Amino acid sequence: MNKLSALLALISCLSFSQNKQILYGFSDIPQSLMLNPGGKVKNKGYLGFPLLSHIHASAGTSGTTVYDLFADDGIDFNVKLQRAVNRMKPNDFFTFTQQLEVLSGGFSFGDFKRKNKYLSFGLYQETDFISYFPKDIAVLALEGNANNIGEFFQLNHVSLRGEALSVFHVGYNKKVNREFTYGVRGKIYSSIVNFHSIKNDGGFVTRQGVNNFYAHTFNLDFALQTSGIIRDEDEDSDFSEKDIVKRTLLGGNLGLGFDVGVSYNITKQWTFDVSLLDIGFVRHSKDITNYEIKGQYVFEGINPLFPEANEGQTAEDYWNEVREAFEDLVDIDETTTKYTTWRPIKFNASLNYVFGKQKYEDCDCTRHDDEYMNAVGLQLYAINRPKRPQSALTAYYYRHFFKGLRAKVTYTVDSYSFSNIGLGVSAHLGSLNFYVMADNFLSLKNIYNTQSASVQLGFNYIFNKNED
Amino acid sequence: MIKKFLKYTLPLIIFCLFMSSCTKQVDFNQANDLVLEPIVASDLIFFNADATEFFVDNTELVTVRDSVIIDLFNRDFFVDYVVKAEFVFKVINSINRSSNVTIEFFDINNQKRHGFSLMALASPNNTDIITTHTEIFENQALDDLKASNKVVLTMQVLAGGDPLNDNTPGRVELKSKGLFYTSIDVSE
């Protein structure tokens, strides 16, 4: 009972996206290098506070919101559920993403005078989940097939993928000249848990029959691959929290990947940058259980008196044949075949314009350190998802306040909504840096009615280039 | 330092407060009200026989009977969730003999729990004559159905009309379907 409401709450509310439109390009924050290894570096070095340097959670639903379903409005829950199911499309999805930096740091190196190279490294843990809305399955569960004769219930509506993994990474960034900076980041993935079911096909249909009222056609092709999941029947296994730690520290299913990125100063005030993240795979070879259902069968009922199949066959034989056919049909094949998953590749690009140098209070001249106070720009984000990529377009305004406070406001259009306003601030107190950012401010009047939300925050110790 | 705190950290705290401020009334316990009520339609039994099939070894086959052990109605899912069942039977007869189709349900102790029959009228000019029958299972009848694991189907060809032999024209066809009304209270 409680489990169910928790599950529903989780599915409908904790569905987040991976887009970090506020952090992207926010080069005062060292973690912006995680979104573009070839981004600009503004510090000599930094150390993230262990476990506190980057905390990110985001969720999104392209369809119904928590409020649609659970509003305390006196309408019968079943009516609301039916409405939500009718309204949602099979391409609607729920997502959830969470990241936690365990360790991170970086330092510049190179010639004594111009340290134009930068090495950053760390370990973070990530959870990523996406499920498309299995519309046909939901309709079948709510209505049954009796009023849906001729309706083909498609199994490919079931499409979901989830994983928890840890990522060890080392990034190299080089400012080649005034215009051009590039960077790469190598990653080792250690998968803790993975499951995916994305290539399902076939389905079930009840049509008008020839020999009987109906012909029920089953054509099932379903597969679910999992690694790292401990099942109930393995209760006596000695799996414990230690194993999670072990899997986090390279003891899980391993994979490799990389990020690349560049920044280019077109003029003094215009810059362009682009990055590709998580081009990589995980090879699952340990703790694997795969499930497969594959079969075809057409059922028209039982012919007890005059079975055509076989002379002398009794109704009993006939029924047994039907039962065996059904058992074969829904028989779940369990295998431990190794498999490979690709990480969801992310793409970022932005075009930026900086303006407004700070003026001295007592004269009309500008300061000659080249810090512009404002920036505006457009950012494009895309992520590869099982059915099709999701993308988002962001316009932003960035402002440098006082010595130690920088803020960025974003407006984002994506699969979730056309009204996503985000805000991030980064405070620099001497060498201490604290940042926090969140989006979907317009929906915060009622957080339950929001279709997506994300929060990021973190603490760093930064070795500044120009000590102020 | 305090000034710095006020200048920088305070706005952040206000920001955080703003973040966590607004929700409207929601009630997650509503999930307990969830009741799934799908109506499942399924074929049951059928047959299709020419008049000549009732002439075996030079004699009229007056009674055809068979029984099936069906462990479906007494399965947990069926017992727990089916609240009403409707069986629809349709006989199409073009043989000039009337016949009686009887369906009986027996429990595990071979006790008869339920039964009904339908009459297929003779077709003197061999056109299709359609007879339908709907049997509704509710209350006691539904309990009897849920106790059953054997179904016996008997077809009796009644006297009168054309004799049955290798040249008798016409055929008899039976179709049937079940509509199962379910109520699945997920919170139970």
- pLDDT tens for residues A63-120? 778 778 888 888 888 888 888 898 888 888 888 889 999 999 999 998 877 789 999 9
Nearest residue of B to residue A444, measured between CA atoms: B22
Looking at residue B9, its pLDDT comes to 56
How far out from the chain centre does Cα A238 lie? 31
Q: Output the six-digit token pair for A49.
A: 């506070």
How far apart CA A416 and CA A409 sit, in angstroms, is 18
Indicate the average pLDDT of chain A. Answer: 85
Verify whether the Cβ–Cβ distance B90 to A423 is below 8 Å.
no
Verify whether the Cβ–Cβ distance A70 to B27 is below 8 Å.
yes
Instruction: Give the gap in angstroms from C-alpha B27 to the nearest C-alpha of chain A.
Output: 5
Using alpha carbons, select from A105, A94, A163, A102 the residue that is nearest to residue A130: A94
- pLDDT of B1 above 70: no
Tens digit of each residue's pLDDT (9 = 90 or more) over A308-334? 544 556 667 777 778 888 888 888 899
Q: What percent of chain A has pLDDT over 70?
A: 86
- pLDDT of A425 above 90: yes
Looking at residue A340, its pLDDT comes to 95
Q: Which domain holds residue A404?
A: 2-464
Alpha helix ranges (H) inside chain B: 2-4, 10-19, 76-81, 139-147
How far apart CA B28 and CA B187 sit, in angstroms, is 13
Q: Got the DSSP string for B78-132?
A: HHHHEEEEEEEEEEEE-SSS-EEEEEEEEETTS-EEEEEEEEEPP-TT---EEEE
User: φ and ψ at A441, to 5 degrees?
Assistant: -65, -30
How far apart CA A384 and CA A389 sit, in angstroms, is 4
Q: Which amino acid is at A78?
A: N
Least confident window among A77-81, A172-176, A210-214, A261-265: A77-81
Verify whether the Cβ–Cβ distance A446 to B7 is below 8 Å.
no
Verify whether the Cβ–Cβ distance B24 to A427 is below 8 Å.
no
Q: Output the six-digit token pair for B87.
A: 């069986």
Tokens 């199911």 belong to A85
- pLDDT of A9 above 50: no
Which pTM was predicted? 0.81
Distances (CA, A) of A140 to A143, A199, B37, B38, B177: 5, 20, 10, 7, 19
Pick from B12, B31, B177: CB nearest A213: B177
Reported as a pLDDT band with limits 50, 70 and 90, residue B64 is confident
Q: Best residue in B4, B18, B46 to probe A by mutation, most A CBs within 10 Å? A: B46
How far apart CA A256 and CA A280 sit, in angstroms, is 5
Which is higher by pLDDT, A464 or A270?
A270
Tens digit of each residue's pLDDT (9 = 90 or more) over B136-156? 999 999 999 999 988 888 888
User: Is residue A141 within 8 angstroms of chain B, CB to CB?
Assistant: yes
The enclosing domain of A287 has a CATH number of 2.40.160
How far apart CA B22 and CA A193 sit, in angstroms, is 35
Distances (CA, A) of B174 to A365, B7, B154: 99, 86, 12
Q: Output the six-digit token pair for B157.
A: 């060809």
For A231, counting Cβ atoms within 10 Å of its Cβ (0-12 exposed, 13-18 middle, 19+ buried), the class is: exposed
Domains held by chain A: number: 1
Verify whether the Cβ–Cβ distance A146 to B34 is below 8 Å.
no
How far apart CA A200 and CA A223 sit, in angstroms, is 6
User: φ and ψ at A385, to 5 degrees?
Assistant: -120, 160
Instruction: Give the gap in angstroms from C-alpha A423 to the nearest C-alpha of chain B.
Output: 10
For A215, counting Cβ atoms within 10 Å of its Cβ (0-12 exposed, 13-18 middle, 19+ buried), the class is: middle
ipTM at complex level: 0.82
How far apart CA B149 and CA B78 sit, in angstroms, is 12
Tens digit of each residue's pLDDT (9 = 90 or more) over B118-135? 988 888 898 999 999 999
In chain B, what residues touch A72 (CB-CB under 8 Å)? 25-27, 30
Q: Got the DSSP string for A2-46?
A: HHHHHHHHHHHH-------TTTTT-TTSGGGGGT-TTS---EEEE
Q: Tell the CATH topology of B34-185.
A: Jelly Rolls (2.60.120)
How far apart CA B33 and CA A1 sit, in angstroms, is 10
Looking at residue A406, its pLDDT comes to 93
